[in-house]
Structure 1
């Protein structure tokens, strides 16, 4: 029998309606902590990562974390990218505005509502870091003038960028953009921008920088005296039903945490988080892997078991197959599918035909592959996948196909 080898990957489109925008979410049910769904997009030809962040109003670093190894200056128009649009809500009280510095993301919990709004933000650089704590919004201002402090004016000259005036009037040259939320903390603001390339990066002098449309959006909703909290939480845990999830972002550079230290911190935080659920099942290897990868993608690491008995969480000795819900939007319709936790990949093989069919891929298992329809392979989670190829019989209807260990694939015809 004649065979051909093919490398497999995703080929799908997200509807342009998606860009209308993933800002508003419904708060999860009581006991849950996860909102949103992972999505995918195929870049346009010659599109850069900066172009993509602006088109989908995402943060730059969060896209890099979720898609390691990509060429940021020339994205492939055949290899879809993960959009990290599923989040574990930050720990603590869900009220007011909460900005988590490591993930470069801001949450606004609308008062007397079940809605939460999520925005990527630019945050303070290592040498101009954003302070931690809570402060009230004292003033809202449209079309503000900017009075750069002497320290910033001096830096501007030292960097060879010329002399900043003492006052920059409102307009296209004003880096504060069109809206400002002033805090009880002097000199620290939530503001817009006159350029969009620094969103989701450590580029500010300590302030929170929003996309222009996002600052205008939150500005209209938030009243003065709303509390704004700045957190430093590179590791977050949360429940989705009975599933225990972890979301890990790279720690702040000035914290000087090694991978091993971050893993230890994640385990210590987990122990405290599970105190009300001492019989919960935990895959500690997956916890360590998530802390090593720091993808910013929520991944399942255990199961909640409520109990009044006092004992340590059970350790899962093997990486069980688990899945997370994700949303795949195409021009024609929307599919639900599981997500592959290690590589965060959805694999789509489109076979020209009239009817659609789907199967679930399980590693090292022979599957019947339909010759008609759109074949949607839903890849499941494994802890340590190995590189693999898929061997497909040539021109043999309903032939069994061996799917080895999952990895990154791409179909070539």
Structure 2
């Protein structure tokens, strides 16, 4: 695995990075965390390091998500490849459960973990190309008829409008997207759990501090691109070949994202079959699905070097 993972004091909100040079897509750094005697849950650690819950779970397979064993060393996945495409505006990768914001006029990118829509009908967050249509502080929540019906089926009767305040599940800030009649928003939350998971009714959920920063910095009219890409590759300027694989999003309740097939584009197939790529290592990365960049360079055998 490609990393310079270090034991270090980590600022939970240090999620802004200078853009890499032309031809490079690699940003960030992984960290190690030693679980204390009363180390709390994986969700608490995800919040501490401002990463998504599933990202932390994928980077540390086999760890107990409720009571990580004291003394165990966890990898905090802070290293990643930028998504393919223009480095501008807002890019959301659903499979990655991350949001990338490229502020205009700055040579930087800010990355946030997100929660997205659950499985089922209108709860799935769709891919789209759109813009930011509106921003509101202290928003009210007007649940749709379908949402109210789902809550009612679970014995909860929602009022037609939820006013701003501590009981509002949208938190303190909301950013409305123009597509689909403006029904999809980026918003905060009144609950810590669920960031980095499929938990919403279709909107994109952020931790309150994150949506507050995004609300402040991102103007109305910002271009937005929502994609669903489980695998990313890069050929770095020094020739290092990297692949980053995430679990694909389930399409059915019976799907197991750990083993769902990953469909490679023609570009990805060419990357894998190139002489410079160790196809077997890339295949292992596609099976492991750690969500972190892995080097897949083909290296000459010792006998060939003599």
TM-score by length of 2: 0.88
Partner of 2:62: 69
Please say if residues 259 and 291 of structure 1, whose CA atoms lie closer than 8 Å, have aligned partners that are also in contact: no
User: In the TM superposition, what are the counterparts of 1:8-407 in structure 2 within 5 Å?
Assistant: 14-15=8-9, 18-46=10-38, 47-127=40-120, 128-160=123-155, 162-185=156-179, 186-240=182-236, 241-254=238-251, 259=259, 261-262=261-262, 265-266=263-264, 268-272=266-270, 281-302=276-297
Work out the CA distance in 2 between the residues paired with 1:42 and 1:205.
Answer: 35
Deviation of 1:317 after TM superposition, in Å, equals 7.4
Work out the CA distance in 2 between the residues paired with 1:318 and 1:290.
Answer: 21
Work out the CA distance in 2 between the residues paired with 1:142 and 1:224.
Answer: 14
Please say if residues 192 and 207 of structure 2, whose CA atoms lie closer than 8 Å, have aligned partners that are also in contact: yes
Deviation of 1:279 after TM superposition, in Å, equals 6.6
- Partner-residue secondary structure (3-state), 2:134: strand
- Partner-residue secondary structure (3-state), 2:132: strand
Work out the CA distance in 2 between the residues paired with 1:138 and 1:318.
Answer: 56
| CA 1:266–1:179: 2 relative to 1, 3 Å | same
Please say if residues 12 and 48 of structure 2, whose CA atoms lie closer than 8 Å, have aligned partners that are also in contact: no
Please say if residues 241 and 296 of structure 2, whose CA atoms lie closer than 8 Å, have aligned partners that are also in contact: yes
Structure 1 residues 340-392: Cα deviation after superposition (integer angstroms, max 9, x where no partner): xxxxxxxxxxxxxxxxxxxxxxxxxxxxxxxxxxxxxxxxxxxxxxxxxxxxx
Aligned length: 288
Partner of 2:3: none
| CA 1:284–1:174: 2 relative to 1, 3 Å | same
TM-score by length of 1: 0.66
Q: What is the Cα-based RMSD across aligned positions, in Å?
A: 2.2
Work out the CA distance in 1 between the residues paired with 2:258 and 2:60.
Answer: 21
Partner of 1:375: none
Displacement over 3 Å in runs of 4+: 255-261, 266-269, 271-274, 315-319
Structure 1, gaps ≥5 residues long: 1-11, 303-314, 320-413
| CA 1:267–1:280: 2 relative to 1, 3 Å | farther
| CA 1:260–1:136: 2 relative to 1, 3 Å | closer
Higher strand share: 1
- Partner-residue secondary structure (3-state), 2:14: coil
Work out the CA distance in 2 between the residues paired with 1:272 and 1:220.
Answer: 42
| CA 1:272–1:206: 2 relative to 1, 3 Å | farther
Work out the CA distance in 1 between the residues paired with 2:177 and 2:299.
Answer: 46
Work out the CA distance in 1 between the residues paired with 2:162 and 2:23.
Answer: 48
- The structure with more radius of gyration: 1
Structure 2, gaps ≥5 residues long: 1-5
Work out the CA distance in 2 between the residues paired with 1:45 and 1:51.
Answer: 14
